[in-house]
Amino acid sequence: MSKAQPEFVTSFHWIARSDVGMRRANNQDSVKIVTAEDEASWQTRGHLLIVADGMGAHAAGELASKLAVENIPHLYYHDRELAPHDALRSAITQANSEIYRRGMANQEFQGMGTTASVLALLPQGAFVGHVGDSRVYRLRDGCLEQLTFDHSLQWEVRRNHRIDEDSDFARMIPKNVITRSLGPNSQVDVDIEGPFPLQKGDQFLICSDGLTGQIPDEELAELMHELDLEEGAQLLVDLANLRGGPDNITLILVRVLDERVLSEPHSSSPVRGAPKSAGSSWIATVAAPIAGVCLLFAILLQFAGQAVVAGVLAAAGISVLIVAAIGWFRRRMTAPGYEADADESVGQAPYATCRCDRDGMMAKTLSNTLEELRQAARDENWSVSWQDIDAWRDSADKLAEARRYPQAIRQYAKAIRQMMAQLRKQPR
């Protein structure tokens, strides 16, 4: 008789899917879910969920993503002394070093890389560690939030130059050029976000760009909101493939089922903490007062007719501020992050948000997709059993006409999943 799982495991439901897509010969994505082994591990480290999207010739990308999902959990759970966000950053940084070392040791693997999007679920909330353009989303109360910043040329240009994402110039920037990944370089800058307090009903999606490149956020929000995890995961993969499937498609869906194992309070969003750094602290407590005193006495001496001494003091005050500012800037540019208290939020998420509109557009989209599939099956003379598919389609059409869109979406989803299951069995 199998042992019952502890409550800190059964309070969550998750499912993972990884698909090679329609145009790739190999799957270079990797995915892993690691659950806390005991109560102590749950309290200090929680559960860890990872998606990695490998890049490189031959088997290099596959190896890079595999190394990421193997090394990050091991390193994260190994050192119990660090706070969760520090342990997450350290684990991803050390994984980068190992991938880089393996690449340098073999010419065939040199330059290999991988994204890594990591979600840690703990009693006090969710932490995210991130490098690359895979993504982590949270769906709460019909609002989908992207918790990661895409390390892509397109996103970096938009942020640094304040370019509208809908502008013609933004559309000209390649979407698939990433600016940060694990492996190609000996050092990497890791983004850490959170903690995001958890509450019952929260959903998280971790996925590679093989999914988000084909399915916009508005559709992700509605499908996650209306479908259970198994239905949603398979439909997302099917839709990405039906829209071309140009890349590997990998995702993890998570839902919070019970709040009893979580820490209080469950606020709707994390409280932001100001970055702590030696540079900013020194400016605030030492440099600024010294400079202020110098400049104050310079003004007084100027009025007293002591122009030379006043000039010297003014120059000294300005010099202190300049040196402090340079030091602060260098620290900000070179430091991979900053130390934060265990209960302090880090990062700037969300980076994008959208709401689940439930206006019937998703039902219409699925209806059109099903019709296109039916036409393709006829054109190619595929052998398809239509009885269940037609029944679900007819039911969905009636529900959509009655504006019962959530129920219609579920029926359309069943029909599409059934049809795709049959099409995968067709001889090629």
Residues 6+ apart with CB under 8 A from 377: 384, 419, 423
Q: Cβ contacts of residue 5 below 8 Å, gap of 6+?
A: none
pLDDT at site 236: 98
Task: List the beta bridge partners of residue 126.
Answer: 121, 196
Residue 290 scores a pLDDT above 80? no
Cβ pair 410, 224 in contact under 8 A: no
Res 387: pLDDT: 94
The model's pLDDT over 138-157, given as tens digits with 9 standing for 90+, comes to: 999 999 999 999 999 888 88
Does residue 166 register a pLDDT over 90?
no
Residue 163 — very low, low, confident or very high, per pLDDT cuts 50/70/90? low
Chain-centroid distance of CA 270 in Å reads: 17
pLDDT-derived band at 273, boundaries 50, 70, 90: very low
The pLDDT score that the predictor gives to residue 75 is 98
Arithmetic mean of pLDDT, 238-266: 91
Residue 218's Cβ-side half-sphere holds a number of Cα atoms within 13 Å equal to 8
* Residue-wise pLDDT tens digits, 193-209: 999 999 999 999 999 99
Contacts of 10 (CB under 8 A, 6+ apart): 257, 258
Mean pLDDT for the chain overall = 86
Count of Cβ atoms closer than 10 Å to residue 207 Cβ: 26
Q: In what order do the strands lie in the sheet with 12-19?
A: 12-19, 249-256, 203-207, 135-140, 143-146, 352-355
Does residue 134 carry a pLDDT above 90?
yes
Percent of the chain with pLDDT over 70: 78
Maximum average pLDDT range among 133-137, 313-317, 380-384:
133-137
Q: Which tens digits make up the pLDDT trace of 85-102?
A: 999 999 999 999 999 999
Mean pLDDT of 22-48: 96
How confident is the model at residue 425, as a pLDDT?
Answer: 82
8 Å CB contact between 174 and 154 = yes
Give residue 276's pLDDT. 37
Q: Which of 84-93, 221-230, 286-295 is least confident?
A: 286-295
pLDDT digits (tens, 9 = 90+) for 59-75: 899 999 999 999 999 99
**Domain 7-263+347-354: which CATH number of 3.20.20.30, 3.40.50.460, 3.60.40.10, 3.30.200.20:** 3.60.40.10
71 vs 319, residue with greater confidence = 71
Rounded CA separation 326/221 (Å): 44
Q: 357 pLDDT exceeds 90?
A: no
DSSP string, 328-396: HHHHHHH-S-----TT-BBS---SEEEE---SSHHHHHHHHHHHHHHHHHHHTT-----HHHHHHHHHH
Q: Which amino acid is at 258?
A: D
Total number of residues shown for the chain: 428
